[in-house]
Amino acid sequence: MPFQGPDRVADPPTLEAIYHLRAAVWRETGDIAQAAFADGRWSDEHDPASLHWVMRDGAGELVAAARLSVHERLADVPEADEYAAAGLELAGRIASPARVVVAAAARRHGLAWQLLDAQDAAASKAGCAFAVRQSSPAMSRLLRRRGWQDAGLARPDERFPGVRFEVMVLELGR
Ligand SMILES: CC(C)(COP(=O)(O)OP(=O)(O)OC[C@H]1O[C@@H](n2cnc3c(N)ncnc32)[C@H](O)[C@@H]1OP(=O)(O)O)[C@@H](O)C(=O)NCCC(=O)NCCS
């Protein structure tokens, strides 16, 4: 199946479609709480200032997405308390790659891997010393193959009672 992307996007209609895709993908996994993303979208205050990528299928349907935000200090990263709780102390500019979702019908074609490539390249280009994220088990498998290190289990997230997220760290800029 041919896929297009990853393409950088910033237009409001596509961002809105991404927020809906995030909620739909997670809802379909069955791993989220009934009350989570009740309005059918997942967005937060970091989305407007973040970089976003999408991938589309051969019919042009949005099937995958990812974002990246860049921060001067670890304390400024979204959900910084998770990284503090994990005992991380990282100097330098910090990348926060997040929100990778791939629709079920498009999985296992390497789309997540391509989105991770886009996030890592943008983080390096932005001069980040490290990248941090909280990853689901399926994502952690990919990350370990890409040189990410485990920093322990994240604290439970009530929106995702079925998922044991792990804190992961990648050293960039060497
Ligand atoms: C986790 C997730 C993003 C992975 O997306 P994906 O596009 O299927 O990922 P990839 O295709 O790059 O890799 C998935 C697997 O397919 C394999 N694969 C990749 N291309 C393949 C191909 N052409 N043929 C066969 N297998 C392939 C990969 O090696 C990987 O194997 P693994 O499960 O043993 O690690 C997706 O399952 C998802 O959105 N899940 C729900 C939300 C979620 O967990 N998001 C991550 C939050 S941190």
Write out pLDDT tens, residues 4-17.
999 999 999 999 99
Strands laid side by side in the 51-57 sheet: 3-9, 51-57, 62-71, 94-102, 130-135, 166-171, 149-153
What are the pLDDT digits (tens) for 94-127? 999 999 999 999 999 999 999 999 999 999 999 9
Ligand 1 centroid–CA 122 distance in Å is: 21
Ligand 1 pocket, residue 54 CB under 6 Å: no
Q: Tell me which H or E stretch contains 122.
A: helix 111-125
DSSP SS3 for 69? strand
Which residue shows structure tokens 């989220």? Answer: 32
Closest CA to 103 of 92, 112, 113: 112
> Which domains are seen in the chain, by residue range?
3-171 (3.40.630.30)
Question: β-pairing, 166-171 with 94-102?
Answer: unpaired
Residue 109 in contact with ligand 1 by CB distance below 6 A: yes
Model confidence at 173: pLDDT above 90: no
Bridge partners (DSSP) listed for residue 65: 54, 101
pTM reported for the whole predicted model: 0.98
* Digit-coded pLDDT (tens) for 74-84: 999 999 999 99
In short, whether 104's Cβ falls inside 6 Å of ligand 1 is no
Rounded to the nearest 10°, the torsion over CA 69, 73, 75, 78 is 0
- Angle between helix 111-125 and helix 137-145 axes, rounded to 10 deg: 60
In residues, how long is the chain? 174
